[in-house]
């Protein structure tokens, strides 16, 4: 199945940009996803990118996809304290009914 790797922690100052990186092993996923989890809550879809795209921009969010290196990144511009959360990248697990395979999550801490 898909292996998805992420760094576990990132700390940034408010107003700076945050970049969260992810590598994956399976190239068959039609979409790749970024989910956000706030404390005590479920996961919510933040953004996604279609596998034939290199970049997707959505307001403060920029997703970059390098298919050759199997690398996905999420950039958050002008990071705010409300962005503090755990961020998961995910791809489709090919043999489990379109289940998503998640990385272990990156804890983003935004300090004033």
Partner 1 sequence: NAGVTQTPKFRILKIGQSMTLQCAQDMNHNYMYWYRQDPGMGLKLIYYSVGAGITDKGEVPNGYNVSRSTTEDFPLRLELAAPSQTSVYFCASSLPTGTSGRTGETGELFFGEGSRLTVL
Residues that bind partner 1 (CB under 8 A): 1, 4, 8, 30-31, 33, 40-45, 48, 50, 88, 92-93, 96-105
> Toward partner 1, which CB reaches closer, 46 or 110?
46
Helix (H, G, I), strand (E, B) or coil at 82: helix
Position of tokens 């983003």?
108
The smaller minimum CB distance to partner 1, of residues 14 and 102, is found at 102
List Cα–Cα distances, 75 to 17, 63, 79, 91, 101, in angstroms. Answer: 7, 6, 9, 18, 21
CB of 48 to partner 1, least distance (A): 6
CB of 14 to partner 1, least distance (A): 25
* CB within 8 Å of 29: residues ≥ 6 apart: 2, 51, 91, 92, 94
Closer by beta carbon to partner 1, 38 or else 78? 38
């Amino acid at each position: 199945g898909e292996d998805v790797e992420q760094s576990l922690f990132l700390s940034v100052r408010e107003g700076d940009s945050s970049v969260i990186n992810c590598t994956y092993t399976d190239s068959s996923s039609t979409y790749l996803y970024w989910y956000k989890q706030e404390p005590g809550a479920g996961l919510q879809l933040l953004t996604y990118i279609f596998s034939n795209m290199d970049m997707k921009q959505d307001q403060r969010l920029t997703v970059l996809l390098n298919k050759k290196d199997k690398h996905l990144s999420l950039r958050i511009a002008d990071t705010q304290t409300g962005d503090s959360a755990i961020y998961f990248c995910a791809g489709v697990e090919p043999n489990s009914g379109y289940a998503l395979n998640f990385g272990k999550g990156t804890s983003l801490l935004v300090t004033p």
